Structures are given as structure tokens and as C-alpha cells.
Structure 1
Amino acid sequence: MEEELIYTLALTAAPGLGLIGKHRLIDNLGSAAEVFRKRKELLRLAPGTPPKLLAALDDASLLRRAEEEIEFAEKNRIRCLSLHHEDYPSRLRDCDDAPLVLFYRGNADLNALRVINMVGTRHATVYGQDICLRFLTDLTELCPDTLIVSGLAYGIDIHAHRAALQNHFNTIGVLAHGLDRIYPAQHRKTAIEMLEQGGLLTEFMSGTNPDRQNFVKRNRIVAGMSDATIVVESAAKGGALITAELAESYHRDCFAFPGRVNDELSIGCNNLIKTNRAALISSAEDFVNAMGWGDAGRKPKATVQRELFPELNEDEQRIVGLLRKRPDGLQINTLVVETDVPVNRMSALLFELEMKGVVRALAGGVFRLIG
């Protein structure tokens, strides 16, 4: 397993091919190790492989760098989660551009039953700060086990993390650099607290600087590992809107808090709502109801046990079994996590169950058993 991890890290660092192309190479050859072992045959086995990548695979320094990174991780209690590791965020795994390896230090379950991210401007106003605190304070009564994700940046990000800590939520900071540093340095104290009540996550090796383009890459992890994105405050342009766009591309729910029409830092949120790219919420209760998570803070209701539908296949039976335990319904990403069925396959299964009159689709991507 460590050998495959070394080759995967080396392939990740190799120039000449994008992440989606590297996914395809591994899928075609069966493993990252095989990509390296058969590098002389890649033009035949994987036509169109860029010459720059072929040259890079011959560079022994890639493997040495990967070995050094694993040593660094071991010394610093950092876990290296390859794409098929059981603790790799399963919601993110279903995204075409998911990182081949994640570096994680912390104690939170990245596959928690409910995961949300809160993002927004780096210039948060008192209004935005109050929303973070009020939303998460109220959420403790409704969904106390929710994992809160953000980017440890100035503004809404850090206020979301601090409000999560204050309300005893686990919270994950997704970084735009390696785990050998904290950026911005002013957030180090909060980051250390998060190691005991959540954690820090990144796709970048140690020594990677927090360069501008890395923040955009970071945003796809924030969006991809979550059931829903919540935009608190945003100007007409900004990283939060990129995260919202990514969430939509991954078929995840997106929500936004509205603001006054003449407030510069509410333009982005108001536009998301106006163009139907985000649902308007004004409270934690709005959000929980939209997601169909209304029973999360209560004990499950007793249900009448029914026989499995004989005409359903094995995957459909599993979905029905889960929905039987949750009469108020489950969100599609929760079903993906619980069954480990890829989101595209889950969508097809739920469509078939709707056609068979077994389930009903509700708002917020929630599905409920009929009858």
C-alpha cells in the first residue's frame, strides 16, 4: 500500500497532464505504480499521453520527493489519504477532479452523516459575523453532529470556524498550501484548536506556498466534500461565488443569506438568489427544512416494518432499507455516503425508484419513501 501511495504522490506532482487525465491513466492501467512501470509503453497503452509527462515519469526525483513527503507526514502525525482509502471523503471522491491524495491532520470524520461549508467575503461585516454565530448556535439544536467546513481565510471563513468551535461542532479547514505552515499566521491559534475539534486538510505537499491559484483549487475540495454550500456575504466577485459555482457543478445544494440591495458585500448573495443558483435562507431552521434534516436532533420515530419490495435490485433494496428508517426522508448525498454508491449511479437508482412509485423527490434533493 505504501508503494502505491509513493507512486500516486509522484504522479500527482508530475507536470504535463491535468488531474482528470491522471485519473484516466490510473483507471486504464490499474494503479499509479503501473503508470510508472509501463511508462515506456504509455504511447501505445494510453495514446495521446503528453511528451512532457513521459519525460517527467523518467525523473527519479519525483519518487524521492514522494518518499520525503511520506516521512514528513509520519513525523508530524499527518495522514495521507489516497483516493480509495476508507477515510477519504466519499462525497469528494465522486467528483471528476478529486485529488488523488489528501493530507489530513485532525480527529473529525470526513464522512460525517451531514457536512456543510460556510464561505463568504474576506471583509466580513458585523452582519456577516453575526449570521455565522447565530446560524451555528441555532444549528446545535437542530443538527448537532454536522461537520462544518471552510477555508481558514480572513472574513467569513475564520468566523465560521470560530463559531463552530464555540458551539462544539467539529470543523475542518481546507488549506491552499502544505501542512508545514498556517496561512494567514494570525489564525494559528484557531487552527491549533481545530486539530482537537475537527482538523486541517489539503491536497498540497509540504513546502507549497499559498499562491493565488491554489485558493481556487482549494475551493473545489470545500464544495466537493460537502452536502451543501452556504454563502454568507459576498461581493459581486470572489472566491465564495466560485465555491457556489463548483457546488452546482457537483450537483450539491447551495444557499445564500440575503442582504440589503445597496450593500456591496451582499451583491454576490443577492445575485445567487435572483438567478436561482442559491436558495434564500434567513435561519438555520430554513436550511434544515430545505435539506430535509428536520429529524436530526430528535430520536427516530418508530416505523412499521415492511417486507422488501421483491421487484427491486440489491442497490434499490438498500436505499429502501435506509429510507424506511427515516420517514422524513434523506438527502441524496447522505444516501451516497451511507451506501457508498457513486452519486451518478445513486441519481439513476432514485429515478428508477420514482418511476416505480417507491420514493418521492422533495425540495433540497431529499427523497422519501411513499406509503
Structure 2
Amino acid sequence: MEWLRLKEYGMKNNHIKKLMLIFQDFEELFYEENFKLFNDELKHQLEESMKIDMKERIELYKRNRVRIISANDKEYPKKLKEIKDYPVFLYLKGKKLKDYEKIKIDKDKISVENKRNIAVVGTRRATKFGKMACEKIVNELVNYDVTLISGLAEGIDTVALKTALDKGIGVISVVGTGLDIVYPYDNRDLWERMAETGTIVSEYPLGTQPTRWTFPRRNRIIAGMSDGILVAESFKKGGALITAELGFSMNREIFAIPGFINYPSFEGCNDLIKNNKAKLTTCGNDIAIEFLWDIKKEKSKLQKLTEEEQTVFETITEEVSFEQILQIVKGKIEKNKLFSIIMSLKIKGLITETNGAKYIRIV
């Protein structure tokens, strides 16, 4: 964590990243043959960073229940590294970040891409219609095991996060301040709730105040961590549109709720749809269809199988007859019992019978 000195001092993210690429260990910066190559400004920054009492800083983070991870840590979101200027360090408060890269459904036999990180963004000046539409769609995502990502701003962010928390949906909030600065202060209760049951993420050290630059910067993190971005309500210009455009450039799936043509607060959403940059979205199922999330339902079916059902299901790795299955499970399952197990797997929608009186998986 010695590299963290540079971040705590205030060195720019890209400068830290370049140094970390060139030098394997922080101590190498101060080797005489290396240090003499740096310009006076960099030498001054390095010397000043060494004056920081890191033991005291780490204790401060612990007292504030803040964890720090680097881009080299396993918990660091893999998708976030796809953006050009990804943060070298992330400051986290709350639960560990969930890795949705892949979920193995049936041991090592079936692997399914499982994209379930969905950002919900929108204007702070949300209308009643926008809030209701946002709440409706988030409610409908509860069946799909998603993780919802948003900011902690007023308006759409607040509606999305509160609805997700009420429904037990996993939540991540990316903020534009240090994790000890609650902003906006009116959201302090939501902030505390997020820290207990979700995860709050920042790229800024403790004590960092909100500025006009920190919030646009955090939008790239929201886009980077997401598989899809739902714009619930947005004016023609604003942070939500910035996030959507960033996501579009990263090949993320973009979704937008359409609004009345005479509502300025929906002009951004309508333009995204009109320009074929976003899928018109009126329900949670529109997002599920795009990602083939019906596979999640099959996953839950597999988790509920009895031991004998699991044994039979695992034998059907290709098209097989009843006799072939019976031969494989011989000594474990009787013939009469096998008939009922196969019938149960068919009823549960996990296998089907082909024209040749054979059985094959359908998940």
C-alpha cells in the first residue's frame, strides 16, 4: 500500500499508473539512478508523499470503516479496467463487491455469461412520472438477481437505490466525494443504509469535498462497472447522458424510458431512442430479454434438485435413451424410481423427450 502515498498526496491517477507500470516496487522510485531522472516537480511530489504518516492514515480509514483496494486486487471490478483512465485505487464502504464475470450452472459442464450489473441513472429534477417509471422497472428486476449501480444524488438515483434496497436487490453507489463526506446531506439516511446493506464506492480519499469536476468523473466508473445502463429520465444535457454516452462508447447495453414529447426532462431519453443508441424500455423484462436472463430462472431450478434428480440430470450431457441413463446410474437408482425422476425433470422444464425416445437438456 506504499503506492497509496501518492494518491493521498494528491498525485493524478494517470501519473501514478505510469509510475506503477515502470517500477515494480514503490521503493524503486527513490533509488539514486531512478530518482535523478525525474523532473523537479515529480521529485518534490515524491518527497512530500513520504512525509505522510501512512500508519495514521490507515487507522483513520479503519475508524471510518473504509477499505482500500488497488487495481491489482481480486475484488477490483474486472470490467472497470476496460476504461482507459480506470482508478488505480478504490475506497469502499460496506459489503464486498460481487463478481459477476461468470456463473457455473452445473459444476464445470455449463458456463454461462451472466451479465447482471445494471446502472440506473437520471436527473436530479425528476418528475412524478419519471420516479414512478423508475420504481416500476427496478421492482420488476427483483426476479433477476441483478446488482443495481447508481450515484447517491437526489432524484432518480435516490428512487432507484431506495426501491432496490426495499426489494433486497444488491446495490452499489458510486459517489463524487470522500466516503466521510455525505452529499447531498439530505440523503444521509440512505447513505447509512447503503453502507450497511450495500457498497459505497469512491475514487477519492477521505476529506474530498464535492466539486463540479468530481461528479462527471465518477460517471465513468458507473459506466465501467455496468453491463447495461438504464436512463430513467434525462434532460438533453446532464450527467445521466454523459454516463449513457460513455457506456455506448464501451459497448454497454443502453436502455431508456420514453417520455412525453413536451417534457424537457425526457428529451435526453427520447433522443437516445430516436438515434438508436438506446433500447426503448417500459418494463424490467425488456432488459432481461436483452441479456437472456431467463437462464437465471433455470439456475434456480437446478439449485432445488434432489440428490437423485441431480445425479440423473448430470448423466444427460448429450442426447441419451432411458436404457443408457439406467446403465449409467445402475446401483444408485432403481428402474421404477428412474421413471419418476425423469418425469420430474421434464415437468421442471430441465429436459425434454426427442422424437427418437431419447432425452436431452434444454438448459
The bucket for the TM-score relative to the shorter chain is 0.7 to 0.9
Map of 1:140 onto structure 2: 142
RMSD: 2.8
Contact 1:108 1:197 (8 Å CA) reproduced? no
Displacement over 4 Å in runs of 4+: 13-16, 300-304
**1:295 aligned counterpart, secondary structure:** helix
Partner Cα separation in structure 2 for residue 43 and residue 272 of structure 1:
52
CA distance in 1, matches of 2:261, 2:39: 49
Change (3 A) 1:106 1:15: closer
Separation in structure 2 between the aligned mates of residue 262 and residue 56 of structure 1, nearest angstrom: 53
Cα separation, 2, equivalents of 1:194 and 1:291? 27
Deviation at 1:35, TM superposition (A): 5.7
Aligned to 1:357: none
Structure 2: state its 5+ residue gaps. 101-113, 303-312, 319-363
Q: Is the 8 A contact 2:231 2:240 kept in 1?
A: yes
* Whole-angstrom CA distance in 2 between matches of 1:281 and 1:203: 31
Tell me the equivalent position of 1:205. 205
**3-state secondary structure, aligned to 1:148:** strand
Q: What is the SS of the residue equivalent to 2:52? A: helix
Structure 1 CA distance for aligned equivalents of residues 266 and 54 of structure 2? 44
Secondary structure, counterpart of 1:232 in structure 2: strand
Does the 8 A contact of 1:39 with 1:54 survive in 2?
no
User: How far did 1:109 drift?
Assistant: 3.0
What is the aligned-residue identity percentage? 34
Paired residues of 1:139 and 1:284 also in contact (CA < 8 A): yes
Q: Is 1:98 equivalent to 2:94 in the alignment? A: no
| Conserved 8 A contact 1:15-1:52 | no
Structure with higher Rg: it is 2
Please tell me whether the aligned partners of residues 152 and 174 of structure 1 are also in contact (alpha carbons under 8 angstroms).
yes
1:191–1:305 Cα change, 3 Å: same
**Shift of residue 174 of structure 1?**
1.0
Matched with 1:277 is: 277
Superposed, which structure 2 residues align to 1:19-168 within 5 Å? Answer: 19-31=13-25, 33-34=26-27, 36-38=29-31, 41=34, 52-60=41-49, 64=52, 66-112=54-100, 114-141=116-143, 143=144, 145-168=145-168
CA pair 37-165 structure 1, distance change in 2 beyond 3 A: same
Q: For the residues of structure 2 that align with 1:19 and 1:280, how far apart are their CA atoms? A: 36
**Secondary structure, aligned partner of 2:297:** coil
What's 2:5 paired with? 10
Q: Which secondary structure does the structure 2 equivalent of 1:297 belong to?
A: helix
Instruction: Supply the AA of the counterpart residue of 2:30.
Output: R
Whether the 8 Å CA contact 2:178–2:204 is kept in 1: the answer is yes
User: Which residue of the partner structure matches residue 185 of structure 2?
Assistant: 185
Number of aligned residues:
297
**Do the aligned residues in 2 keep the contact of 1:25 with 1:35 (CA within 8 Å)?**
no
Instruction: Tell me the amino acid that sits aligned with residue 146 of structure 2.
Output: T
Quick one: distance in 1 between partners of 2:68 and 2:261? 45
Deviation at 1:108, TM superposition (A): 4.7
Unaligned runs of 5+ in 1: 307-371
The reply to whether residue 173 of structure 1 matches residue 173 of structure 2 is yes
Does the 8 Å CA contact 2:77/2:225 hold for their aligned counterparts? yes
Distance change (3 Å), C-alpha of 1:248 and 1:11: farther
